[in-house]
Chains A and B, each alone.
Chain A
């Protein structure tokens, strides 16, 4: 099994074997971060540009650490400090960066599909660090890596994803990835925040009540309510949301013993997850962050040898 893609734009267009390869490499990469000298010479002489059109601390830092542990040179460009503020188009920004001969661009953009547009037009590799409401493949992979590490396999797992599914690229990447790997996904959230027709994505069920999704689950993944974006129009009040779709200790008890509680962060404590659960024995939220570095090292490594775009 080899990885032939120039870019990683999402988990939708990867096969189960390719996802498994990325996860296996990530397992091997994890050890590097535990060494005295946390660096390998693999991407020496390569340049990785982090191009972020949306604010991000965790993902950008994680990609930057991943690139540095592989000995690549990294630089960060954020929209607030770039010529984007002066009206430059995405295409012009990309071509100007291309003229400086980078090898890999890690990009986050508010528009779904921006990465596909870019990947077709540039010679360097494009890695999606989140595009609009579409995909966030590195988050999907690190979630799957954490599940596989803790539970041994993804095959046959019952995974509940709870919250704002409609606006969540984390949910989409997890749905594509998990169903390909043989897990069953149960979605729960207010009807205004569940996209119509989501069952067509594969082994996915929509539950009206949170307890139906969580019952006997191996994993409960809570999504962030994006208070700054769509919370107001689609939800009556945060208190009501929290009462019906917040994860409390009582709800956790409905799941399998030893259930993994996950959250992509940043958390709204007391809204979608209560502090007792977020800091409790079932929470693997910090393991997710740790595995994020290993997964991103794996992604950068595999695209560095990728062929022409498919």
Chain B
């Protein structure tokens, strides 16, 4: 089958979107007190580091970044044969009382976010969890919405959206594949 790819957000567009999200996070949370970022493996982790860099630049203080692998929390784990590889979850700080911003590249059915929130709760009881995504492509299957969105992209279920990263794990562009 032939696939054609369309770039829907170029490098400049991605950087602008991330800068805007960083400002929105600060506005909503009134600064970086108790703020932590947790990226969802693997695209979300790279974006969380991008956001943390911008937040530090604006506020002149570092924001802790953690990462979560949601494989063990998937709701379709029982039907996966063979089982999926498990990546590392690294949250080297307590989430108790923290304002957690979950970061992912593409928001689709919402099932990944449900799994990530369950994982967060096993690391303590955060004050709140917010969600930042670069792309919201619709088709939610659970009552979940993002607090910060880079761009809303209406898609059909057959299409595929990918965020491409370079070797230094910096976002290069976002493209949409039609099958």
B78 touches A28 (CB 8 A): no
Q: Which of B51-59, B84-92, B156-164 contacts A (4 or more CB under 8 A)?
A: B84-92
CB distance from A48 to the nearest CB of B (A): 15
Q: Which residues of B contact A2 (CB under 8 A)?
A: 82-83, 85
Q: Which residues of A contact B78 (CB under 8 A)?
A: 45
Query: Can you name the residue of chain A whose Cβ is closest to the Cβ of B75?
Result: A41
A28 touches B86 (CB 8 A): yes
Our pick among A37, A304, A305 for the contact of B122 (Cβ within 8 Å) is A37
B72 touches A41 (CB 8 A): yes
A256-269 vs B, CB cutoff 8 Å, 1 = contact: the mask equals: 00000000000000
B88 touches A305 (CB 8 A): no
In the complex, B175 has a CB within 8 A of chain A: no
In the complex, A40 has a CB within 8 A of chain B: yes
CB distance from B178 to the nearest CB of A (A): 29
Q: Given A35-B122, A37-B122, A306-B82, A27–B88 Cβ distance below 8 Å?
A: yes
Chain B interfacial residues counted at CB < 8 A: 22
* Cα–Cα, bound, A25→B69 (Å): 12
* Cα–Cα, bound, A55→B52 (Å): 53
Q: Given A3-B82, A306-B81, A40–B73 Cβ distance below 8 Å?
A: yes
* Cα–Cα, bound, A28→B94 (Å): 18
Q: Given A40-B72, A42-B77, A45-B78, A301–B83 Cβ distance below 8 Å?
A: yes
B86 touches A31 (CB 8 A): no
Q: Which residues of A contact B86 (CB under 8 A)?
A: 24-25, 28-29, 301
* Cα–Cα, bound, A45→B78 (Å): 9
B81 touches A307 (CB 8 A): yes
Beta-carbon contacts under 8 Å, A1-58 to B: 1-4, 21, 24-25, 27-29, 31-32, 35-37, 39-42, 45
* Cα–Cα, bound, A2→B77 (Å): 14
Q: Which residues of B contact A39 (CB under 8 A)?
A: 122
In the complex, A134 has a CB within 8 A of chain B: no
Q: Which residues of B contact A32 (CB under 8 A)?
A: 72
CB distance from B109 to the nearest CB of A (A): 18
- Chain A binding site: helix, strand, loop or mixed by DSSP? loop
Q: Given A28-B89, A31-B90, A41–B118 Cβ distance below 8 Å?
A: yes
In the complex, A302 has a CB within 8 A of chain B: yes
A28 touches B87 (CB 8 A): yes
Q: Given A27-B88, A36-B122, A304–B72 Cβ distance below 8 Å?
A: no
Our pick among B80, B87, B89, B90 for the contact of A305 (Cβ within 8 Å) is B80
* Cα–Cα, bound, A31→B66 (Å): 13
In the complex, B140 has a CB within 8 A of chain A: no
In the complex, B139 has a CB within 8 A of chain A: no
Q: Which residues of B contact A36 (CB under 8 A)?
A: 94, 122-124
Q: Which residues of A contact B121 (CB under 8 A)?
A: 37
* Cα–Cα, bound, A301→B83 (Å): 8
Query: Can you name the residue of chain B whose Cβ is closest to the Cβ of A40?
Result: B72
* Cα–Cα, bound, A292→B88 (Å): 18
CB distance from A304 to the nearest CB of B (A): 6
B85 touches A25 (CB 8 A): yes
Q: Which residues of A contact B81 (CB under 8 A)?
A: 305-307
Query: Can you name the residue of chain B whose Cβ is closest to the Cβ of A31?
Result: B89
Q: Which residues of A contact B82 (CB under 8 A)?
A: 2-4, 302, 305-307
Beta-carbon contacts under 8 Å, B74-108 to A: 77-78, 80-83, 85-90, 94
Query: Can you name the residue of chain A whose Cβ is closest to the Cβ of B74?
Result: A42
Q: Given A36-B124, A305-B80, A305-B82, A28–B88 Cβ distance below 8 Å?
A: yes
CB distance from B39 to the nearest CB of A (A): 16
Our pick among B69, B72, B85, B90 for the contact of A1 (Cβ within 8 Å) is B85
Could you list 12 A-B pairs, sorted by A, with CB under 8 Å? A1-B85, A4-B82, A24-B85, A35-B123, A40-B73, A40-B122, A41-B118, A42-B73, A45-B78, A301-B72, A305-B82, A307-B81
**Residues of chain A at the chain B interface (Cβ within 8 Å):** 1-4, 21, 24-25, 27-29, 31-32, 35-37, 39-42, 45, 70, 301-302, 304-307
The 8 closest A-B pairs by CB, nearest first: A305-B83, A40-B72, A37-B122, A2-B82, A42-B72, A28-B86, A305-B81, A305-B82
